[in-house]
Structure 1
């Protein structure tokens, strides 16, 4: 199991795992058209699927391997994407931290010839050092004119930052918000305020976790710009 992997086993994983990318559509709430796709990865070794989140959390303790894995992974996501829509790529700030890493990713994003949105994820720890790395990454993207999306907004354990919100073009509201509203409808007023602020800032809102028709109808009624989730599985493409 991944829990017991040592450095050598992780290195073997990076070089030998089968990488697969699923492209999950982002749907416009106005006309149900596909606005773009988020690239989601799956790793398989010895015919066993390995949790992406688990790998990333483990590799936070080994930045060199993490960087090597993501170089291969992101290249695959780019190479297998043939649509002319926006492509949302998840980036962990820890792999865009050193001078070498920043130079590599700047050239990579410049040469990929795709309409890229970088999703800023929080897979690491929530200490002050990690927060500063994420803030630096967000500013780095902004200064280079690369569009970014703040992922997992309002997810349990995620940090709230006006700095990150201000630097992002897209705010992705976590699926846990839908579940919370079903438990306590009063939170609808909270999401209305968030959406109003996003629009005033000339940003765009995306709601994740659309799984049922009632979720789909709610996203339209409440005023999100885009929506994403298993409800649209028939539109998912896998490369």
Structure 2
């Protein structure tokens, strides 16, 4: 498939968003929602992660796609609670991109949280792009969340952690604790540090009652995962 065919395939794909709830850990009241995107390409549902891996080498197409996606995610949200939007810093590098996102984000910044995601690369250029994006968001007083903390393959940055209002603990932590309970002490230390820093913690990947029962004793602020989809009404 050539680049033109790939572009048309992506831009014409059926697109939909699921709003996954983020809840207070103890009361299970809804705090906000994360917008999760899917694409239906030739009757095959594909996650954004699979597509974005290819788009990192096509910045213009990546920007066009994400501009459309984010506009739809905002237009279809009622803003009765916080909306968490995933942003890859690679779509914030040119003057055109920066001007568009400044207008877009500032219009909704009271109710938006920008989740800064990684593209899977830990090279110096990617780290610098993420740092610059984080600095810009902080300067504009836009709340941010550090996504996928402790995910396999992700890079750890004190700078990114210190500049985020929310720290999202990756689902890999729950899986590790389920196989080795000693890791719960490591997680307790991370959660304590987050709280001492005046930040908020979100544990992702809660997929069963067993998972939820396991983390009830932890001093985290919010939880997220497929288990809660059956407990709340999705917007």
TM-score (norm 1): 0.94
Spell out the pairing of 1:33-182 with structure 2 (5 A cutoff).
33-112=29-108, 115-182=111-178
What are the ranges of 5 or more consecutive residues in structure 2 without an aligned counterpart?
A: none
Distance 2:77 2:146 in 1: 22
Does the alignment pair 1:225 with 2:221?
Answer: yes
Distance 1:195 1:138 in 2: 22
Work out whether residues 91 and 121 of structure 1, in 8 Å CA contact, stay in contact via their aligned partners in 2. Answer: yes
Aligned to 2:234: 237
Question: What root-mean-square deviation, in Å, do the aligned CA atoms of Structure 1 and Structure 2 show?
Answer: 1.4
Report the 3-state secondary structure (helix = DSSP H, G, I; strand = E; otherwise coil) of the residue aligned with 1:222. coil
Report the 3-state secondary structure (helix = DSSP H, G, I; strand = E; otherwise coil) of the residue aligned with 1:12. helix
Aligned to 1:11: 7
Work out whether residues 219 and 227 of structure 1, in 8 Å CA contact, stay in contact via their aligned partners in 2. Answer: no
Moved over 3 A (4+): none
Distance 2:50 2:95 in 1: 26
Compare 20-29 and 226-235 and name the one that shifted more: 226-235
Q: Cα 1:45–1:236, aligned 2, differ >3 Å: closer, same or farther?
A: farther
